[in-house]
A = this chain, B = another copy of it.
Amino acid sequence: MTLRTPYLMFIGDAPDQLAAKTADGVAFWRRQACLGQLRLPGCKADLGLPDMTIEEAAAAGVKTVIVGTTNRGGVLGAGWEPLLVQALELGIDLASGLHHRLADIPVLRETAVRCGRQIADVRHPTREFAVGNGIKRPGKRLLTVGTDCSIGKMFTALALEKEMQGRGLKADFRATGQTGILIAGDGVSIDAVVSDFVSGAVEWLCPANDPDHWDVVEGQGSLFHASYAGVTLGLIHGAQPDALVVCHEPTRPHMRGLPTYKLPDLRICIDRNIEAAQLTNPAVGCIGVSVNTAGLDPGAARDYLRETEARLGLPCVDPMRTGVGRLVDNLPG
């Protein structure tokens, strides 16, 4: 699946900004592709984009409406269906990161077929994958891993892609989750792949390439997360990374969703990820740490980065506060 741009961001009646975090991510990273937002009465989120109706979006050339809000249960809100039907009838595709498929809603599916439009439920893989073969392939790959879930792996990967492209390096972000897919326009939602095929799906996602080309692969989960570590390990083996960047958030009290599980020590986390990745690429190394210091004041953030850097002997950056330039400086040749 490939998504057509430009987008209209549909955020419905999102009760707060967090409920629209998928849309927020797309609007942040694909600003030029987002022509407007559609908000319904009661919406408390704002992407800072021009408000548009479906008709206005069609007139402005929008090619895809992104359903970029989550609501409890993942179902559509009241009154949303007619608007999405209208979009399809005006020649606009739909894309959604919701758990429940838009294509399972009969009126949307039938309208899409009738109008020859695409519905991309990006959380659900649309093809079958082979089992991973573990064969080394040309091209270079960087993978973001982390001490926990939802800790900045996508953000860091996108920041790295931008910095690398800015320096004239050949680099492509490879999306492995729904927000990343909506940003990149394609990818595989890796945690929705049948477990036997996870490394095969990742091999497909970042295939052989030019020797000096970098795939910057979005990580998922954490080797230290009791619910999802298997997804992470399959992703690591399929990606065959040459370079790892470890992502961390220093103020998080416990592993996401697991109140009795503490975050791992950064040194141990780095060592275990390297150990795991060495199976399919013995030459792998960790090039640095990406810290989300949003929970610290500027002075404390600076101290944390400096102390962590001294302790680990690796560049430590915050993509928002310092940029990721020092990670790119440290890429293997």
Contacts and interface: CB of A to CB of B under 8 A. Distances in A.
B231 A195 contact: yes
Contact of A237 (B196, B198, B229): B229
B200 A191 contact: no
A199 B227 contact: yes
A59 interface: no
Nearest to A199: B227
B196 A258 contact: no
Interface stretch (A6-14, A17-25, A130-138, A294-302): A130-138
B231 A134 contact: no
Contact of A260 (B135, B230, B257): B135
How many residues of A sit at the interface, in one of the four size bands?
Answer: 35 or more
A230 B235 contact: yes
A226 B280 contact: yes
B191 A196 contact: yes
A212 to B, nearest CB: 24
Contact of A195 (B134, B194, B226, B275): B194
Given A134-B227, A192-B194, A200-B227, 8 more contacts: A134-B226, A191-B195, A191-B196, A195-B231, A199-B229, A224-B279, A233-B233, A272-B275
Contacts of A131: 227-228, 257
A230 B176 CA distance: 16
A125 B292 CA distance: 39
A135 B226 CA distance: 9
Total copies of the chain: 2
A234 interface: yes
A172 B119 CA distance: 46
A229 B190 CA distance: 15
Given A192-B196, A258-B133, A230 B234 contact: yes
Interface string A125-147: 00000011111000000000000
A193 interface: yes
B226 A237 contact: yes
Scoring A132, A228, A258, A280 by chain B CB atoms within 10 A of each residue's CB, the highest score goes to: A228
Contacts of A228: 131-132, 196, 199
Contacts of A257: 131
A192 B257 CA distance: 25
16 contacts: A133-B226, A134-B261, A135-B260, A193-B194, A195-B195, A195-B198, A195-B234, A198-B230, A198-B231, A199-B226, A199-B229, A223-B233, A227-B237, A230-B232, A230-B234, A230-B237
A191 B230 CA distance: 11
A194 B224 CA distance: 19
A199 B230 contact: yes
Interface in A181-198: 190-196, 198
B195 A230 contact: yes
A134 to B, nearest CB: 3
Given A133-B258, A195-B195, A280-B226, A234 B231 contact: yes
A260 B223 CA distance: 25
A157 to B, nearest CB: 19
A196 B195 CA distance: 8
